[in-house]
Structure 1
């Protein structure tokens, strides 16, 4: 890969993911700003206003995934920058459910384009360490949520400043990643490098193993992001500061992903996914029966569970189904975000009618199903290697 500065591209990618992840933390804080005690939206209405962050992400990934091969990684990356910038400006000026919905849509498209372009780029520049480097890249999803959570807590809860200032802090990592990508040479995708035809790529996404992983992605993403995105409402009466709990969860996730290499080597991706499902179920169940300081223990168990979900699901496809190319990774990420867009209003409705604990109990069913599915995946992968 002559002329390609791998380190700079990787660091710029991490900064782009920081923008993506900070939007999740800041949006979680905006729930109280636009909620019943603020602008006056119900929790169900806020759920609908936030859904474009997820199906917009899905739309961007499904469209951006195939375009990565034809337009190139570079152009998709700059589309991400433009839509991010528009989304941030529109969020700052939002005053209603409709304006928040439109702002969230642009942010979601920007986030989706980041993943559509940069997951396959990292798989391309690190072909021998895909799962490891994708985990390191995705350190900055929880890492950015920690940053966003602390920024939101300090600006609004400690300093008492306006929420618009909190949202405006997104411009800092946005400008940094634009400058770092400026003038850089980008690689072609791994599918193009391998010489796999477009038709073969389309056929490969119909394989049973790939379709199984897509279904699992619906449940893993909803378990993780459905819970953390509604943390303000879920923990509002718990006696703990929700954004600090969110920062704590994502701090653990960032550490886990940073040191994922030895774990991957020992457990293999399928084993990591089963481990994750077990701890996620226990963590969600503990969140329904704890309060105050003990919430942090429950949150720690939950964090250990969801740490490896997203990057390992993407990495599994990159490792064992490389012929699916950028499209395969995009379908995986898109399916994950689509499931969150479905689950957010459902959670809001349950919280409006039956309370936070009932919402958490309902969510705990998802990792319970995943335990069964990932036991089956482990059996299949062992037979495949035999």
Structure 2
């Protein structure tokens, strides 16, 4: 078959598609309070709206995982483009709770479809350095959040409304849709290597995969819940709460850019253990600090969650390659699904704290963060066990991508 695969262009287009996904997170985090004020929504309603993106994502990424080998990655990305377009336009013209709910859900579907196609695309394009390139690809998630939060901050200074802020996402959406329409795609790595569908499903029952899937619940919540709600949770602690998210995600961008030298020194499981210790430390400091110390806390927390997502995916695809695209997408779906449930629960918890305090919400955000802290503490134990397990399996040499 005379098709030319331009992996550099495909990788760049994938990064642009992920940029739209992350812009939706960054811009939504920045306008959440504005939406609450304009449409008279309480924190539980805001949490429910925000959560729709997080359970729209796993629905799409899991369905995409089941069908990507059948219909191909290109068709999935066309679907993602259409859902992004529809979701963004509907958000711009939202008139209340239900239109925001539906539009956010559509964007969540689009975001999940992007990852359902692009994660296996990256591993198929760069079979010799999967974890490194997944980290480079996923740096555009925090990168887009940095861009999104800075745009929100800047445009608010000029009195430009949230509708225009959301509308800016149409530009990269149009570009990535055009680029993917012009490029040829490879088959997924599982299809190319001849692993049967039955072999893939058997690999998904491996206890190591199930363990990593459960851990993905915790890493997803620690990273994404905290980031998405940081402006709400710490608004009463810092006058620059949104800039804390910008700082945290900026650290993540830098860290993921240096994935290759880090993976030459440490195995993915050791990186996960160190990351969890840093994340727990940062989250504790975010919930207890005031003044300028809180910015140091954001840096530490950013260092902690930096490698969660790409390292979890890279570990699974490297050590359990027969799980294929479905394995990657089940991992992503698990992380987002956990965030959606946790976000709804914590939104109600936040409102209950405020009610019990007679309407005073000064400490509500801090208490939510302290409740969330339990998760990375549990993960420290889990990943310490993973490190010991991998050593017992003669994995003392770091599972780093080879230098090419």
Provide the residue aligned with 2:195 in structure 1: 196
Residues of 2 paired with 1:218 and 1:239: CA distance?
A: 29
- Cα deviation for residue 239 of structure 1 reads 2.5
Does 2:328 correspond to 1:319? Answer: no
Please provide the CA RMSD for this pair. Answer: 1.1
Does 2:205 correspond to 1:206? Answer: yes
Residues of 2 paired with 1:363 and 1:161: CA distance?
A: 34
- Cα deviation for residue 351 of structure 1 reads 2.0
Provide the residue aligned with 2:56 in structure 1: 56
- Cα deviation for residue 30 of structure 1 reads 2.5
Q: Is the 8 A contact 1:240 1:295 kept in 2?
A: no
Provide the residue aligned with 2:123 in structure 1: 123
Residues of 2 paired with 1:230 and 1:380: CA distance?
A: 35
Does 2:47 correspond to 1:38? Answer: no
Residues of 2 paired with 1:67 and 1:94: CA distance?
A: 32
- Cα deviation for residue 18 of structure 1 reads 0.4
Gaps of 5+ in 1: none
Query: How many corresponding residue pairs?
Result: 384
1:33-67 residue CA offsets vs partner (Å, 9 max, x unmatched): 222x3321110111111111011100001100121
What does 1:157-196 align with in structure 2 at a 5 Å threshold?
A: 158-196=157-195
Provide the residue aligned with 1:275 in structure 2: 274
Q: Is the 8 A contact 1:62 1:334 kept in 2?
A: yes
What does 1:1-386 align with in structure 2 at a 5 Å threshold?
A: 3-35=4-36, 37-156=37-156, 158-354=157-353, 355-385=364-394
Q: Is the 8 A contact 1:221 1:340 kept in 2?
A: yes
Provide the residue aligned with 2:356 in structure 1: none
Residues of 2 paired with 1:296 and 1:95: CA distance?
A: 36
Residues of 1 paired with 2:38 and 2:290: CA distance?
A: 25
Specify the SS of the correspondent of 2:266.
helix
- Cα deviation for residue 353 of structure 1 reads 2.6
Q: Is the 8 A contact 1:240 1:293 kept in 2?
A: no
Residues of 2 paired with 1:178 and 1:27: CA distance?
A: 22
Residues of 1 paired with 2:377 and 2:173: CA distance?
A: 38
Residues of 1 paired with 2:394 and 2:173: CA distance?
A: 44
Specify the SS of the correspondent of 1:175.
helix
- Cα deviation for residue 262 of structure 1 reads 1.0
Structure 1 segments of 4 or more deviating over 2 A? Answer: none
Q: Is the 8 A contact 1:279 1:302 kept in 2?
A: yes
TM-score, L = length of structure 2: 0.93
- Cα deviation for residue 194 of structure 1 reads 1.1
Q: Is the 8 A contact 1:240 1:292 kept in 2?
A: no
Query: Which deviates further from its counterpart, 115-124 or 353-362?
Result: 353-362
Specify the SS of the correspondent of 2:267.
helix
Gaps of 5+ in 2: 354-363, 396-404
- Cα deviation for residue 172 of structure 1 reads 1.3
Query: Which deviates further from its counterpart, 339-348 or 111-120?
Result: 339-348
